[in-house]
Chain A
Amino acid sequence: MRSARPLYAAFIFFVALAANLPHLLSPAHATSSRNWPTPPVSLDKQRVQISDSATGTTADHRKFEALKQPFTSGPEVTKACLSCHTETGHQFMRNIHWTWDYVNPKTGQQLGKRYLINNFCTNSRGNEGMCAQCHAGYGWKDENFDFTNQNNIDCLVCHDSTGTYYKTPNSNGSAACSVMFEGLAPIDWKKVAQHVELPKRANCGTCHFQGGGGDNVKHGDLSTALTNPPRELDVHMSPEGENFACTACHITREHVWAGSRYDIDPRDTEGVGKPGQRRDVASCESCHGLEPHPSNSIAAIKLNDHVSSVACQTCHIPTFARGGVATMIDWDWRTAGKTRNGEGYHEHGYIQGNGEHRYVYKSIKGNFTYDENLVPLYAWFDGQMQYTTIDTRFDLNKQPIAINSFTGSRYDGRSRIWPFKRMHTWQPADIGYGTLVYNHLWGEDSDSYWGNYDMSKSIAHGMKAFNLPYSGQFGFIETYSYWPITHMVAPKEQALKCSACHQKDSRLAGVSGIYLPGRDGNHWLDVFAIVALVSAATGITGHSLLRKFGHQGEPHA
């Protein structure tokens, strides 16, 4: 069957050509303009965000006796949830929202938020009192957290539909920090517990839009602008479009989600499953198939050829950090720790598209550079990230150090050209041993950086807490991190035009391993052609001049 595919494809190609001759005379954009812009979905569909197959509900949680209690804490609510959802606790404890722990089966690398170091706030390890606000559990502030107690699961952060639920740090931190979380309105636990629904964009966004310490700081393609995005920002998530909740693509089986940065499928070759078949992938192809463009014009047929080399995101996300929320592109920890009258401070300095101010300096973090509407970096990507972990020794002379490096090429049959955000940071490191460090940022003690501003103490503390080798010499190194861009899919009429890549000095100027018509050619062939043409022209000129002035005999007819 497989061997017959090319012939079949060729047959279909020519049949499609014959059947569509009237369309073929017009290029893609003209042909499809009749369908553009994509008509909005019906109002009926807009009421509820579209999740996976669990969309809709069969129960009214207000009627459950178990939830008619005067709850005073999160774990009490969780216990009530689990009294009906008997298997959910065990199921949930397997997913990385709970474990923060992932061992890459291919590289054997110990990954997960619990262990990794990034080039934003750097490490959660040892700072769980603050960072584990985004752990889907209650009370993780140090190594003593009980990962086996299912009552510690936080159901509400994902399932609250009232918008009144919030989380605060699990430990106080330094006095200078803890004041920020005082005076918040108490949570009405009973009300929240009785108003649980499937997660909405805002639920996931509580953490995922705020990664790196603020709105869109980390990813570049995940910001609060996606809570209620206009169609131009994200055609799938917009209420004017498909009104997808995150889980419409990040589908769930037993509280385990599809689509993780730790294990990316850069090229889905399975496409749409059979009806009713579970799609355990968050790829574009799982809905749009392997021939995603309609075969109603030559340009569209040609576009389908691109799926072998180009990720959908490359053309369909023309820029990231759209929608008025900027992303951070540069972080300089070297300037952290400046104080005024012995106190930390911050400076405004960037006004983003939606009018909000962003800090460009914070004593606790250093200097930031923000930008928005960014053209991504493009590169071949095989889905495999290689992380620089706390154990990795690197050569200090080879900076910038890639926090996560990746490989890929046209030849491995798996890679495609993907868009990335590249983050540049000057961050603390052990410059004696050439390793990254666990920095003790958050704590009530006098070593924590946030409050005391002494990095020699905070790093020494952070490394000692986990029995890690530390030379005692800290300094700052330049690092890059790479973030595959996959959200903020624009409507199709705003996808990149061919010429965005098919010309000299295009977006793909730096990508090798492909023949890109319009960009590529053979210099010597072009030179040879010019020489040949010039020779022909010279020969003709010479010949005609000789004819005009050279002949002595009678002129012919």
Chain B
Amino acid sequence: MISRFVLIYTRFERFWHWMQMALIFMLMFTGFAIHGIHHWVSFSTAVTLHTICALLLILLWIFAIFWHFTTGTWKHYIPTRNGIIKVARFYFYGIFKGERHPYRKAYWRKHNPLQALAYLSLKLMLFPVIWVSGLLYLLYFVWRDHPQAADWLYGIAMIHTGAAYALLVFVVVHVYMLTTGHSFVEHLRPMFNGFDEIELSAEEEAYLLRDQPSHIRSV
């Protein structure tokens, strides 16, 4: 096996990631303003920005879903038991011993099994909950005249708020995880320039050198 820097986060994926980060940050900031946790922006401004960011995020997600399926990237998120115990053992034990992270990124598998599972749950569970509750909230004008509308709105708002809190916890842990294994900067760099250290087979290297020379750099 050969270690090389390979372009594993393409331009769209990086754009998607950072746009999503910015929008989620704005949504959290304005959402918590709406919830009354802070008053740094007026309610009217908070609602306006929250709605715009939500619509942009939905648009982004539509593109991202399309991208996942047309490029086959979705396969990176297929859950696997292979190596997951080792990774979990590393985070709960080995890391304190100064052990090396057991996972080696592959060209066809850029997340470690625990990471892939976390992202998959985020995409398949938490995001849809926020999407659906947020859209129902946004479409209040369609069902507002129903006598029970206020009760439903309460339920929807609580689901939406709960999901937002869960996402906040995710963000906190997500950022902390950047400090594990490699250094913070080494974790962050691939999300900017797209290149991460990957163990390649000789065939993979040969393929990349011949057909995708701009996607490979030496370590």
The complex places the Cα of A528 from the Cα of B99 at a distance, in Å, of: 35
Which of the residues A10, A517, A557 comes within 8 Å of B182, measured between beta carbons? A557
Contact B97 A552 (CB under 8 A): yes
Given contact pairs A498-B42, A515-B154, A555-B98, A504 touches B36 in the complex (Cβ within 8 A): yes
A25 at the B interface (CB under 8 A): yes
Given contacts A25-B52, A533-B168, contact A411 B44 (CB under 8 A): no
Q: Are A553 and B153 in contact (CB under 8 A)?
A: no
- Asked whether A9 and B141 contact (CB < 8 A) given A24-B52, A410-B147, the answer is yes
**Cα A438 to Cα B140 with chains together (Å):** 51
- The yes or no answer to A41 lying at the interface (CB within 8 A) is no
Say whether chain B's binding surface is mostly helix, strand, loop, or mixed.
helix
Which residue in B36, B45, B55, B96 is a CB contact (below 8 Å) of A518? Answer: B36
Q: Given A305-B140, A517-B34, A552-B98, A536–B173 Cβ distance below 8 Å?
A: yes
> With the chains together, A514 CA to B147 CA distance in Å?
11
Which A residues, 517 to 549, have Cβ-Cβ distances below 8 Å to chain B?
517-522, 525, 528-529, 532-533, 536-537, 540, 543-544, 546-547
- Measured as residues with beta carbon below 8 angstroms from the partner, the interface class of chain A is 35 or more
| Cα–Cα distance between A204 and B9 once the two chains are bound (Å) | 76
Q: Does A29 contact B (CB under 8 A)?
A: yes
Of A298, A513, A519, A551, the most chain B CB neighbours within 10 A belong to A298
Q: Which residues of A contact B99 (CB under 8 A)?
A: 553, 556
* A540 nearest in chain B by CB position: B176
Of A6, A25, A27, A557, most B-chain CB atoms within 10 Å:
A27
The answer to whether B126 has its CB under 8 Å from any CB of chain A is no
Q: Is the CB of A550 within 8 A of B97?
A: yes
Tell me, yes or no, whether A412 is within 8 Å of chain B by CB: yes
Residue A345, interface by CB 8 Å? no
Stretch at the interface among B11-19, B75-83, B155-163, B203-211: B155-163
Q: Does A502 contact B (CB under 8 A)?
A: yes
Contact (Cβ within 8 A) A514 B143:
no
In the complex, are the beta carbons of B172 and A515 less than 8 A apart?
no
The answer to the question of A94 belonging to the interface, with a C-beta cut-off of 8 Å to chain B, is no
B142 and A9 contacting across the interface, CB-CB below 8 Å: yes
Query: Is A525 a contact partner of B165 (Cβ separation < 8 A)?
Result: yes
Q: Are B96 and A551 in contact (CB under 8 A)?
A: yes
A554 on the B face (CB < 8 A):
yes
Instruction: Encode contact with B along A456-474: 1 for CB under 8 Å, 0 otherwise.
Output: 0000000000000000000
Check if A499 sits within 8 Å of B150, measured CB to CB: no
> What is the 8 Å Cβ interface bit string for chain B, positions 118-148, against chain A (1 contact, 0 not)?
0000000000000000000001111111011
B150 neighbours in A (Cβ, 8 Å): 309, 410, 513-515
Bound state CA distance, A540 and B157, in angstroms? 29
B140's nearest neighbour on chain A, judged by CB, is: A305
Interface set of A (CB-CB < 8 Å, partner B): 6, 9-10, 13, 17, 24-29, 297-299, 301-302, 304-305, 308-309, 410-413, 497-499, 502-504, 513-515, 517-522, 525, 528-529, 532-533, 536-537, 540, 543-544, 546-547, 550-557
